[in-house]
């Protein structure tokens, strides 16, 4: 019966060079292939076993082995060259990695620090040896570990995570503040997960920022809660800063002066603007100098007037460049009133309000040369209250004071504006200097004073008549 073929299966008679009666016979070509594969794998005993008893073309086999050896040598050279280049690239990367001014750490999937550059070892105080391993999370202060653990758990290769101003603790127990930047590194399955953690030490920057904030807060408290109106005006004559105290003196907020640099000049009293203009000219003439303080009157939005003392000084930057002027406007309204009151008390009698002996002498010394210069005459009248001591002794000093005030008021009403009525002693008064070219007027003046004093003086205790 002839041989038949099944679908996808060949009989032994279809293979060339084989015995159809032995179904386990291997074709020579396949045998040669298997032998070559065994030789390439270094399994010489298997190759010998396959070739025993076979008529193999040894020359062809040796040639194949020679070609294979040459290929192996070429591949080995390429591998050595690739390994050398890889080693050079690795050395360059490690040199670059170690020279970075930023602390860089490579952390594995368990959180252990596998690699750390020189800056990281310095910053965290890590030992440069593989025998000491550290958990990265333990390098972070406990209160900041939560965000870092959450970030490591949810880190994706394409999405780096930044955490700002965490507190870290070095192995020396020194605490510092830093920013943490995390990025997943590409790795193979055998190596496992790797995360690159970059830590930027921001301790100095944070301390400087806090110091600046505290300084600004202190200045704000000093400036904004001070009764003095402080300001800084730039080289372009525009305000850089105006303290809130300006509203008390002017009725305008700080923003009004920043928006309108000429507003302050318009608030100055018209009689004092020449002082302000002279002050400005002095500053323009000497930009680096300080002009003397000046006293000005300014008008409030509601119409009231305030006295201020204005002073300013030039401001320079660290490099010596001119930054403008810092000025202070101080409310001296009450001080002015106190000065005027002290000046009045120094030159006037406290009881009657009449000029005292000092002011009388000053006006007399001014009137004499003026009278001579004009070719006129001057009259001087002295008055004394007789028996005034009896009033004090019998009715008391309060009654005597009332009498003195009434006499002083009547004498002051009977003279002109440029005449002076002064109290020289306890009961004596003087009226001067009345200058006139009319002798009749000078003679009628004492009579007018006598008539005014003849009217009775009244008090709660008694009535007084002068003669």
pLDDT under 50: residue ranges of the chain: 1-24, 131, 433-441, 461
Matching fold, domains 100-207 and 226-337 = yes
Interacting residues of 387 by C-beta distance below 8 A, sequence separation 6+ = none
- Determine how β-strand 305-316 pairs with β-strand 420-423: unpaired
- The pLDDT, as a whole number, for residue 6 is 37
Q: Are 242 and 254 in contact (CB under 8 A)?
A: yes
Closest of 76, 79, 39, 74 to residue 56, by C-alpha: 39
DSSP character for 340? H
CATH number of 226-337: 3.30.450.20
> What is the distance between the alpha carbons of residues 342 and 55, in angstroms, rounded to a whole number?
141
- DSSP E strands in 188-271: the ranges are 194-201, 229-233, 239-242
3 state DSSP class of 251: coil
- The pLDDT, as a whole number, for residue 418 is 76
Domain parsing of the chain, residue ranges? 100-207, 226-337, 348-464
Q: Are 195 and 182 in contact (CB under 8 A)?
A: yes
> What is the distance between the alpha carbons of residues 229 and 308, in angstroms, rounded to a whole number?
10
CB atoms within 10 A of CB 78: 10
Q: Determine which helix (DSSP H) or strand (DSSP E) holds 311, and give its type and residue range.
A: strand 305-316
**With a threshold of 0.85, does the pTM exceed it?**
no
Closest of 175, 172, 165 to residue 199, by C-alpha: 165
- The pLDDT, as a whole number, for residue 191 is 74
Closest of 419, 399, 400 to residue 354, by C-alpha: 419
CATH (one of 3.40.50.410, 1.10.3720.10, 3.30.70.270, 3.30.590.10) for 348-464: 3.30.70.270
CATH number of 100-207: 3.30.450.20
- The pLDDT, as a whole number, for residue 7 is 37
Angle between helices 44-51 and 28-40 (to 10 degrees): 160
Peptide bond into 146 cis (omega under 30): no
- The pLDDT, as a whole number, for residue 257 is 94
> What is the distance between the alpha carbons of residues 320 and 288, in angstroms, rounded to a whole number?
11
Bridge partner residues of 185 (DSSP): 194
- The pLDDT, as a whole number, for residue 25 is 54
DSSP character for 404? H
Bridge partner residues of 231 (DSSP): 242, 327
Q: Are 332 and 308 in contact (CB under 8 A)?
A: yes
DSSP character for 291? P
């Amino acid at each position: 019966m002839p041989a038949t073929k099944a679908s996808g299966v060949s009989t032994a008679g279809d293979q060339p060079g084989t015995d159809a009666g032995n179904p386990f016979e291997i074709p020579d070509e396949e045998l040669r292939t298997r032998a070559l594969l065994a030789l390439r794998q270094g399994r010489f005993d298997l190759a010998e076993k396959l070739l025993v008893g076979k008529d193999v073309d040894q020359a062809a086999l040796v040639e194949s082995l020679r070609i294979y050896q040459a290929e192996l040598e070429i591949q080995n050279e390429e591998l050595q060259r690739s390994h050398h280049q890889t080693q050079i690239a690795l050395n360059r990367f490690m040199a670059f990695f170690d020279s970075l001014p930023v602390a860089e750490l490579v952390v594995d999937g368990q959180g252990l620090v596998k690699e750390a550059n020189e800056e990281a070892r310095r910053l965290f105080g890590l030992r440069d040896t593989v025998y000491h391993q550290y958990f990265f999370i333990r390098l972070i202060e406990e209160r900041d570990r939560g965000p870092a653990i959450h970030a490591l758990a949810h880190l994706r290769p394409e999405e780096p995570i930044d955490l700002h101003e965490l507190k870290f603790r070095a192995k020396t127990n020194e605490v510092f503040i830093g920013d943490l930047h995390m990025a997943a590194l590409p790795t193979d399955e055998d190596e496992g997960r790797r995360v690159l953690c970059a830590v930027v030490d921001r301790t100095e920057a944070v301390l400087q920022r806090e110091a600046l904030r505290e300084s600004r807060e202190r200045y704000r408290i000093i400036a904004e809660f001070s009764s003095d109106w402080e300001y800084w005006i730039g080289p372009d004559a525009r305000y850089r800063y105006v303290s809130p105290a300006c509203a008390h003196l002017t009725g305008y907020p700080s923003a009004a002066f920043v928006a309108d640099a000429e507003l302050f000049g318009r608030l100055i009293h018209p009689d004092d603007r020449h002082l302000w203009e002279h002050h400005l000219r002095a500053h323009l003439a000497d930009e680096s100098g300080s002009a003397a303080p000046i006293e000005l009157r300014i008008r409030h939005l509601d119409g009231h007037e305030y006295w201020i003392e204005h002073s300013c000084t030039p401001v320079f930057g660290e490099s010596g460049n001119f930054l403008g002027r810092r000025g202070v406007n101080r409310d001296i309204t009450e001080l002015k009133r106190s000065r005027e009151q002290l000046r009045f008390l120094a030159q006037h009698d406290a009881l009657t309000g009449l000029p005292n002996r000092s002011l009388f002498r000053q006006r007399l010394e001014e009137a004499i040369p003026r009278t001579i210069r004009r070719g006129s005459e001057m009259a001087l009248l002295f008055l004394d209250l007789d028996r005034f001591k009896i009033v004090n002794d019998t009715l008391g000093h309060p009654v005597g004071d009332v009498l003195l005030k009434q006499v002083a008021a009547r004498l002051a009403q009977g003279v002109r504006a440029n005449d002076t009525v002064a109290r020289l002693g306890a009961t004596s008064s003087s009226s001067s200097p009345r200058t006139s070219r009319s002798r009749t007027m000078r003679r009628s003046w004492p009579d007018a004073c006598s008539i005014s004093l003849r009217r009775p003086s009244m008090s709660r205790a008694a009535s007084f008549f002068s003669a």
